Amino acid sequence: MLTRTSSSAGAALACLTVITLLGGLDGRLSAQGQGGVNGDRVSVFLDCASRFCDLTYFRTELPWVNWVRIPEGADVHLIMTSQATGSGGREYQFDFIGNGDFGYEEQLAHQASPTDTDRETLDEIARTLGVGLLYFAATNGFFESVDGFDEIVDVLDIDSEELDPGERVVTVQEVEDPWDFWVFRLGGRTELNGEQTRQTRRIDGNFSASRVTPTWKMNFRGNVNYNQREIDLADETTFTDSRTDWGFSHLIAYSLAEHWSVGVQGEMRRIVRFNQGFRAEMTPALEYSFFPYEEATRRALTVFYQIGPAYRSYLEETVFGHMEETRWEQSLEFELSQRQPWGDASISMTGSHFLHDIDLYNVRLGGDIDFRIARGVSINAEGNISWVNDQIYLSAEGATDAEALLNLQQRSQDFNYSLQLGFSFQFGSIYNNVVNNRFQGGGGGWWWFR
């Protein structure tokens, strides 16, 4: 489903008519050639991190577009983002931002059904890209020398009232849905792997029920996991570990106002690694978004607060001498994320503590950035650090050597961290749009000695 999320709604609907003319456009461009470096073709830089960012596929399906490798060489910077829909599908959002002299900004969206195959999703994404790029070309003087292009411009040149972003959402009143917007899923998986001296068995099962409307968001999820590990040791004994974990969680959220949301989260869980035979908690929560929620795929700044009790029944006596206890906790989280033509970045900070003893706390700071320093040069970094002093569940007996080596039992710690740094430097032709599918997966990579 193609939707227009800004500017004229009628023009967006007219774009659907233009789809039938796209095929003929390829041939007319090829027949008349390209003048200059780019000729009549639109130069596009695709900025995307989704698994459906298949540039080879888009080059094949939209050969009348000049796909470039750096944003500085593009006429239009195309940012593609996505977010989950209530049915379990995804909504893909496309922001078309003109570069240089092209003072242009437009937005389209496509909603993919959870039952769509990868090919169907790619086809619809390519079609939406074609519509958006064709509209950009029509409004900025591209393809004027192409025979018959005036017909396309006439179709696109429609004035109509602006479309509210919320109007693209199907409401309960608009359709007769026998399921009342509820979506249910059941799943399972079994895994067996090993070698002569070790083997692992794993069985997983899960289910979920969800209902998402503009006003309400409800998610109910459950899972059960069985793991068995056997390892032959040097002293001719066998180490065996078998454990079953399970959990059930729910979220009910209500759109209180344009920037406010209120809700409640709860869970029941068994986690052997954290010495918890049974855990149950219920936490009311409040969230404030500084930007409209509709802009979340491009920019978001939120504050999230929750407070509530949690009951824990332990498998072994804890370091504090408890076999069970109920403690109140509260947490506060700040999160900022941006996806812009210069790159993307996010940072979050979360702090929590127990109300009966504020010295039992946990503070986490994390973030990532992918920043284009200059033409063809970018850096990326990702990291997080946590200060931990809230492990009230730790077993007084501690972990055995085997449990420590295999990370089967949580151990006492004051902090944990991770850091990744990288860079990318690209040079050479930015206009090579040739697609060659020979020897796929062979060549073009690094050779490693093994």
Q: Return the structure tokens found at 24.
A: 């003929």
The residue count for the chain: 450
Domain boundary at 109, 137, 168, which?
168
Domain boundary at 168, 192, 209, which?
168
Whether 388 and 328 share a structural domain: yes
Residue 152 or 9, more confident: 152
Determine the Cα–Cα distance for residues 60 and 123; give it in Å rounded to an integer: 11
Average pLDDT for 403-425: 88
Determine the Cα–Cα distance for residues 256 and 413; give it in Å rounded to an integer: 39
Residue 121 located in a structural domain: yes
pLDDT in the model for residue 91 = 85
Determine the Cα–Cα distance for residues 202 and 204; give it in Å rounded to an integer: 7
Domain boundary at 203, 236, 269, which?
236
Buried b (16+ CB within 10 A) or exposed e, 113-147: eeeeeeeebbebbbbbbbbbbbbbbbbbebbeebe
| pLDDT tens string 217-245 | 999 999 999 999 999 988 888 999 999 99
| pLDDT tens string 24-72 | 555 444 444 333 334 567 888 888 877 778 887 788 788 888 888 778 7
pLDDT in the model for residue 222 = 97
Whether 102 and 152 share a structural domain: yes
Residue 449 predicted with pLDDT over 70: no
Sheet holding 377-388, edge to edge: 182-195, 198-212, 216-232, 238-255, 260-271, 276-289, 299-314, 324-340, 343-354, 357-374, 377-388, 415-425
Q: How far is CA 357 from each of CA 216, 327, 329, 353, rounded to the nearest angstrom?
A: 35, 10, 10, 8
Residue 182 located in a structural domain: yes
Burial class of 409 by CB neighbour count within 10 A (0 to 12, 13 to 18, 19+): buried
Confidence of residue 343 (pLDDT cuts 50, 70, 90): confident
CB 295 within 8 A of CB 312: no
3-state DSSP of 104-130: CEEEEEEEECCCCCHHHHHHHHHHHHH
Output DSSP code: residue 131. H
pLDDT in the model for residue 296 = 79
Whether 46 and 142 share a structural domain: yes
Whether 419 and 331 share a structural domain: yes
Which residue type sits at 48? C
Whether 6 and 141 share a structural domain: yes
Residue 332 predicted with pLDDT over 50: yes
Whether 186 and 205 share a structural domain: yes
Whether 290 and 143 share a structural domain: no
Which residue type sits at 17? T
Whether 129 and 15 share a structural domain: yes
| pLDDT tens string 172-215 | 555 567 888 888 999 999 999 999 899 999 999 999 999 988 89
pLDDT in the model for residue 259 = 93
pLDDT > 90: what percent of the chain?
Answer: 38
Residue 434 located in a structural domain: no
Residue 443 located in a structural domain: no
Output DSSP code: residue 113. P
Q: Which of 27, 25, 59 is nearest to 137 (CA)?
A: 25
Q: Which of 99, 81, 4 is nearest to 42 (CA)?
A: 99
CB 310 within 8 A of CB 279: yes
Mean pLDDT of the chain: 80
Residue 156 or 440, more confident: 440
Whether 342 and 421 share a structural domain: yes
pLDDT in the model for residue 404 = 83
Domain count across the chain: 3
Helix, strand, or coil (residue 389)? coil
Average pLDDT for 81-88: 78
Residue 87 or 135, more confident: 135
Residue 163 located in a structural domain: yes
Residue 106 or 333, more confident: 333
CB 355 within 8 A of CB 387: no
Determine the Cα–Cα distance for residues 192 and 203; give it in Å rounded to an integer: 9
Whether 178 and 287 share a structural domain: no
| pLDDT tens string 250-282 | 999 999 988 999 999 999 999 999 999 999 999
Return the residue matching tokens 């930007």: 291
Residue 419's domain comprises 256-425
Whether 265 and 398 share a structural domain: yes
Output DSSP code: residue 120. H
Whether 55 and 102 share a structural domain: yes
Residue 354 located in a structural domain: yes
pLDDT in the model for residue 441 = 57
CB 77 within 8 A of CB 71: yes
Pairing of strands 42-48, 76-84: parallel
CB 2 within 8 A of CB 131: yes
Residue 441 located in a structural domain: no
Domain CATH number, residue 82: 3.40.50
Residue 7 predicted with pLDDT over 60: no
Q: Return the structure tokens found at 124.
A: 């619809």
Range from 92-101, 146-155, 233-242 that averages highest in pLDDT: 233-242
Residue 29 located in a structural domain: yes
Average pLDDT for 85-108: 81
pTM to 2 decimal places: 0.69
DSSP 295-310: GTTTEEEEEEEEEEEE
CB 311 within 8 A of CB 280: yes
Determine the Cα–Cα distance for residues 104 and 96; give it in Å rounded to an integer: 8
List of E strands, 8-67: 42-48, 65-67
Domain CATH number, residue 369: 2.40.160
